[in-house]
Amino acid sequence: MSKAIDDKSRGDQTDFETLNVRREVAVLFAEIAAPPMNLMGPELIRDLVSLIQQAEADDAVQVLVFKSADPDYFISHVDVTRIKENREAAARLNGEESIGQLLRHLSASRLVTIAQIEGRVRGVGSEFVLACDMRFAARESAIFGQFEPSFGVIPGAGGAQHLTRLMGRARALEVMLSAEDYDAELAAAYGWINRALPASELDGFVGTLAHRIARFPAAGRLVVKERVNAIALAPAEEIRRDSDLFLEGVRSPEFQARTQTALERGFQTRDGEMNLGRLVGDL
């Protein structure tokens, strides 16, 4: 079923397959709805490309908030069975077959992006929220993981770049090499997210912040993002290098064997990934 932007004030009708999008004045709220567990597959990637392009083309849109329709999964991770299709879908943005470059575009965008996280966000899901300008998570339900090294590969869409800059060397190594699940409180303490909040307060906090930011002059937002990115955002070539290393890794026999074993044990199933840290630890 397709979904459309709900904007009674403008009458816009933009259809998406995996997003429910509504507009409140200068803020777009995009709710991720890609059953059965919000895997990052080509359908979601195509919708994200369309959403970004349309939002950037509308000067009245200032802030983009990402949420999930699934209380257990924000974005679980990339669909490892569709890597070629995923890359082709990402190329719709600027011709480059790279989810990492798609996400870096989001970081560099004039739009202010906020991730409102409930449920599990791992792998490229973690890289997606890291590419957003701010991240706020439900204390009771949000779970974070950067588990790619448990399959013998590096995070391929900027995870190593973001985590090292945010956490420092030691904690970034702990997070990636342990391939463990981290709750929202620890993620906040490590710098993975801005804050962990009670679930009952998350909607109100993020909505108020988004509208407050959107009311301020656009020129101030633009120059602040530009200067902060100049200091803290990884160069495109560094993310491109990580993507190349990831692709080299997924072609290895070890990755293929571990992925097959993981799939047999419940990887990429809703129930199997409720505790993914344990699943990959037992491979």
pLDDT category at 147 given cuts 50, 70, 90 is very high
- Does 209 map to a domain? no
Q: Tell me, what's the pLDDT at 169?
A: 97
- Does 164 map to a domain? yes
Query: How many CB atoms are located within 10 Å of the residue 135 CB?
Result: 27
- Does 210 map to a domain? no
Measured over the CA atoms of residue 202, residue 207, residue 210 and residue 215, the dihedral's sign is negative
Q: What is the DSSP string of 134-146?
A: EEEEETTT-EEE-
- Does 207 map to a domain? no
Residue-wise pLDDT tens digits, 256-281: 999 999 999 999 999 999 999 999 99
Token pair in block for residue 265: 């044990």
pLDDT category at 253 given cuts 50, 70, 90 is very high
pLDDT at 7 over 70: no
- 127: domain CATH number is 3.90.226.10
pLDDT category at 15 given cuts 50, 70, 90 is confident
Quote the mean pLDDT of the chain: 93
- Does 211 map to a domain? no
Query: How many CB atoms are located within 10 Å of the residue 204 CB?
Result: 10
As for how many domains the chain has, the answer is: 1
Residue range of the domain that includes 141: 3-199+218-281
The pairing of beta strand 27-32 with beta strand 195-197: unpaired
The mean pLDDT of 199-215, rounded to a whole number, is 97
- Does 250 map to a domain? yes
Q: State how far the Cα of 138 lies from the Cα of 136, in Å rounded to an integer.
A: 7
Identify the CA nearest to 251 among candidates 170, 151, 163. 151
